[in-house]
Chains A and B, each alone.
Chain A
Amino acid sequence: MVVTSDGDEILDADRVVFPGVGAIRDCMRALKRLRLEPVVRTAATHKPFLGICLGMQALLQESEENGGTACLGLIPGRVRRFQEPLLDPRGQPLKVPHMGWNRVHPQRDHPLWEGIATDRWFYFVHSYYAVADEPRWVAATTDYPGAFTSALASGNIFAVQFHPEKSQADGLRLLANFLHWNPEGGHTRQATVLGSDQ
């Protein structure tokens, strides 16, 4: 596995992880500056591709963050902010960001859910969430307090709002499932993580 912001290395990889924290405008600017926009598009349409957190949100068409930011548009839909005041069932205000462990409810079978029981806990930290235009993209939902989309899947793209790398055994299982996932039955050797040194 390599961590890279080099376009050729990403295009050479067998599978790509697109992780992220931070703000969407900086993310899109960095992709443009590094000329990675077409690379990510190609990777997301040709290889097993895992988007995490901001790396999920960037796949949609547009985000409300930073006063409206155009994203990659690989998944039809947009990214919305949790609208305050959010109230829990006891009427107490819920905090934004949605930070901590929450249950993930898979909405359909997928190889990445293999070995992970339904309604397991995963770690989240975010203030925005994806709203796909078509329900068929929704691979999981989570409640805060209403249901929002916590995983999207279609073809060779799988994208999660939570952080599998911080979600103990179930998170590691999801990452292992990704490494063994062959959406088109292709042979795979090596994974690349898109990123750069802070």
Chain B
Amino acid sequence: MLAKRIIPCLDVDNGRVVKGVRFVDIRDAGDPVEIARRYDAEGADELAFLDITASHEDRETMVHVVEQVAGEVFIPLTVGGGIRTLDDIRRMLNAGADKVSINTAAVFDPEFVKAAAERFGSQCIVVAIDAKQVAADPPRWEIFTHGGRKPTGLEAIAWAKRMVDYGAGEILLTSMDRDGTRVGFDLGLTRAISDAVSVPVIASGGVGALRHLAEGVREGRADAVLAASIFHFAEHTVREAKEFMAAQGIEVRL
């Protein structure tokens, strides 16, 4: 049967891998090609690259990073951060990305997701959703932009469904409450979105231990789990994560 995927995420700033904790206090973690090669050897199912480069001029650096990685690593690559036009998507796909993730641009112009899916196919359009809990009972999550600072008032479940209607082939769901905290995924949010949409959901934000990955799949019903810091600083290898999940009865590719 289809394996649950483990996706290491590399935050890339001007050609270097960094990890932001709640998007501040950025620590340098190394060369993206070298790190991608290591994750591939450890059995990563896919790789996600998030370009957090601030200036538009430096974004060309990311195209070269993708080209280099795609030339050496033969697993699917998703690239996000600053994807705003069909031309941005075309350049990333031509550089060797298999999917692009669209975040802020989808919020400001939902029709962009529709146009992107029609032009390139839903299989390569991932919509990234950054959500924060705004009410506890009943729980309600809303979409935030700008690293969790700007509220949009959009309710997360309805937004996810709308993005799938518009052609998103996958949802990359990040809890902005949990991102960088290492206390585990927001399982309520993950499950609510996963149950609401027909396409795969990647859970993100909050992984600090291997059991969090297993919880994301079993309780959050995620199809894939994304993590950054637990892999970057060699606390755990991807293989250890997979062995842990397999021991929990979760089907993984080993």
Contact present for A99 and B74 (CB under 8 Å): no
Closest 9 CB pairs of A and B: A22-B121, A101-B253, A121-B253, A101-B3, A95-B200, A125-B123, A102-B2, A198-B90, A99-B200
Which secondary structure dominates chain B's binding surface? loop
B24 interfacial by beta-carbon distance below 8 Å: no
> Is B35 among interface residues, defined by CB-CB distance under 8 A?
no
Query: Does B98 sit within 8 A of A, measured CB to CB?
Result: yes
Verify if B233 is at the interface (C-beta below 8 Å from A). no
Interface residue A98 (Cβ < 8 Å from any Cβ of B) = yes
Q: B221, A98: Cβ atoms under 8 Å?
A: no
* Cβ B198 vs Cβ A100 within 8 A: no
Q: Does any Cβ of B come within 8 Å of A83's Cβ? A: no
Q: In the complex the two chains form, what is the Cα distance from A26 to B200 in whole Å?
A: 24
Q: Is B29 an interface residue (CB 8 A)?
A: no
Q: Which residue of B lies closest to A165 (CB)?
A: B74
If over half of A's interface residues share one DSSP class (helix, strand or loop), that class is named, otherwise mixed; here it is: mixed
Residues of chain A contacted by B121 (CB below 8 angstroms): 21-23
A143: interface (CB < 8 Å):
yes
Is A166 in contact with B74, judged by CB distance below 8 angstroms? yes
Contact pick for B123, options A84, A94, A97, A165, CB 8 Å: A97
20 chain-A/chain-B pairs, Cβ below 8 angstroms: A21-B124, A23-B121, A84-B198, A88-B1, A89-B1, A95-B200, A95-B223, A99-B169, A99-B170, A99-B223, A100-B200, A101-B2, A103-B1, A121-B253, A126-B123, A144-B1, A166-B74, A166-B75, A167-B74, A168-B40
Q: How many A-B residue pairs have CB under 8 A?
A: 79
Q: Does A172 have its Cβ within 8 Å of any Cβ on chain B?
A: yes
Q: Identify the closest chain A residue to B224 (Cβ).
A: A100
Q: In the assembly, what is the distance between CA of A103 and CA of B224, in Å?
A: 17
What chain B residues lie within 8 Å of A167 (beta carbons)?
Answer: 74-75
**A94→B195 CA distance, assembly (Å):** 10
Task: Report yes or no: A145 in contact with B1, Cβ–Cβ below 8 A.
Answer: yes
- Number of B interface residues at 8 Å Cβ cutoff, please give it: 29
Q: Which residue of A lies closest to B169 (CB)?
A: A97
Of all chain A residues, the one with the shortest Cβ separation from B3 is A101
CB-based contact A94/B75 at 8 Å: no
- Determine the chain B residues whose CB is within 8 A of the CB of A98 once the complex forms: 2
Among B90, B120, B200, residue most surrounded by chain A Cβ atoms (within 10 Å): B200
* A171 at interface, CB cutoff 8 A: yes
User: Would you call B173 an interface residue if the criterion is a C-beta within 8 Å of the partner chain's C-beta atoms?
Assistant: no
**Interface assignment of B45: CB less than 8 Å from any CB of chain A:** yes
Contact B199 A95 (CB under 8 A): yes
Docked pose: A88 CA to B121 CA in angstroms: 26
Q: Kindly identify, within residues 63 to 90 of chain B, every residue whose CB is under 8 Å from any CB belonging to chain A.
A: 74-76, 90
Counting chain B CB atoms within 10 Å of each CB, which of A89, A95, A121 scores highest?
Answer: A95
Is B93 in contact with chain A by the CB < 8 A criterion? yes
- In the complex, per-residue mask of B217-254: 1 if CB is within 8 Å of any chain A CB, else 0: 00001011000000000000000000000000000010
What 0/1 readout, one digit per residue, does chain A (81-116) give for beta carbons within 8 Å of chain B? Answer: 000100011001011111111110000000000000
A194 to B253: give the CA distance in the assembly, Å.
Answer: 31
State whether B2 touches A144 (Cβ < 8 A).
yes
How distant is the Cα of A97 from the Cα of B2 in the complex, in angstroms? 11
CB contact list, B12-58 vs A, under 8 A = 40, 45
Per the bound structure, the CA–CA distance linking A102 and B252 in Å amounts to 9
Partner of B94, one of A23, A102, A168, A198: A198
Tell me the complex Cα distance, A95–B76, Å: 18
| Closest-CB distance, B98 to chain A (whole angstroms) | 7
With a CB–CB cut-off of 8 A, which chain A residues contact B3?
Answer: 100-102, 121
Partner of B223, one of A100, A103, A165: A100
* Bound-state Cα–Cα, A193 to B205, Å: 40
- Cα A106 to Cα B76 in complex, Å, equals 23
Cα distance, A107 to B62, chains bound together (Å): 42
The CA-CA distance from A92 to B199 in the complex, in Å, is 14
